[in-house]
């Protein structure tokens, strides 16, 4: 176990930062609850497509200017007047509100909401994105999921504690320049995969 932002984080054998080698964990059973078993052919093709998309995203991140990203972030924080930077997540256990996970190395951020800010951010860090959900869109425009990144990829955190969890998330997302956001869908509660697809966000890579 290690500490990151003041809370315990489980070490992973393949590291606490995203790499090309730990990006994919193959699973041949559908994650969509259908019980479908994927063929070797699908697994091989999907692996190739997912790595292709991964490489496109990394190339895209490398094209961004870190100072411009930071300027956008600071302007957003100033404009909203709600978010404050924190260095310790522990006080936000069971605290509802909005959060921004900042990944400075990639000039990307993720805006989310939860009724437990600490638990939600830790869940992002602990996940391995499902094999069949790595691509959300096409291999040419899918945004990498926040759940594909690891704990140490998060370098700054901003929070806005509030009990008002409805109606703001999408507004916050739309205030932030989309080229710097990892959000794959619109904000708010999305009723199922079909609605998520309708509200899908992609980017030209």
pLDDT at 13: 87
**Tokens of residue 170, six digits:** 């999408």
Please choose, from the candidates 166, 153, 145, 181, the residue with its C-alpha nearest in 3D space to the C-alpha of residue 96. 166
- What are 1-40's pLDDT values in tens digits? 889 999 998 888 899 999 999 999 999 999 998 889 999 9
- What are 39-75's pLDDT values in tens digits? 999 999 999 999 999 999 999 999 999 999 999 999 9
**Using only C-alpha atoms, what is the Rg of the chain?**
17
- What are 130-144's pLDDT values in tens digits? 999 999 999 999 999
Strand-pairing partners, residue 7, are 4
pLDDT at 199: 60
Average pLDDT score, the chain: 93
Please choose, from the candidates 70, 116, 68, the residue with its C-alpha nearest in 3D space to the C-alpha of residue 92. 116
Cα–Cα distance between 95 and 118 in angstroms, integer?
Answer: 8
Q: Which residue has the tokens 């932030």?
A: 176
pLDDT at 90: 97
What is the distance, to the nearest Å, from the Cα of residue 171 to the centroid of all Cα atoms in its chain? 18
CA angle 189, 155, 128 (to 5 degrees): 55
pTM metric for this prediction: 0.93
pLDDT at 195: 45
- What are 191-200's pLDDT values in tens digits? 454 545 446 8
Q: What is the mean pLDDT of residues 114-119?
A: 97
Strand-pairing partners, residue 102, are 109, 156
pLDDT at 34: 84
pLDDT at 60: 98
Find the Cα–Cα–Cα–Cα dihedral 101, 107, 108, 109, rounded to 10°.
30
Q: Which residue has the tokens 């704990």?
A: 151
- What are 139-164's pLDDT values in tens digits? 999 999 999 999 999 999 999 999 99
């Amino acid at each position: 176990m290690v500490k990151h932002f003041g809370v315990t984080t489980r070490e992973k054998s393949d590291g606490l930062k995203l790499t090309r080698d730990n990006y994919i964990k193959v699973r041949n059973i559908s994650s969509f609850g259908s019980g479908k078993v994927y063929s070797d052919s699908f697994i091989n093709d999907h692996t190739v497509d997912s790595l292709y998309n991964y490489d496109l995203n990394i190339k895209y991140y490398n094209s961004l200017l870190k100072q411009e990203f930071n300027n956008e972030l600071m302007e957003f924080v100033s404009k909203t007047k709600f978010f404050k930077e924190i260095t310790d997540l522990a006080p936000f256990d069971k605290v509802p509100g909005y959060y921004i996970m900042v990944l400075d190395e990639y000039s990307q951020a993720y805006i989310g909401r939860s009724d437990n800010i600490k638990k939600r951010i830790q869940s992002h860090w602990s996940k391995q994105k499902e094999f069949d959900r790595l691509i959300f869109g096409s291999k040419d425009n899918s945004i990498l999921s926040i759940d594909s990144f690891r704990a140490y990829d998060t370098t700054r955190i901003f929070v806005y504690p509030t009990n008002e969890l409805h109606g703001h998330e999408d507004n916050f997302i739309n205030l932030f320049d989309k080229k710097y956001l990892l959000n794959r869908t619109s904000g708010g509660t999305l009723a199922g995969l079909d609605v998520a697809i309708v509200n899908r966000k992609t980017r030209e890579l």
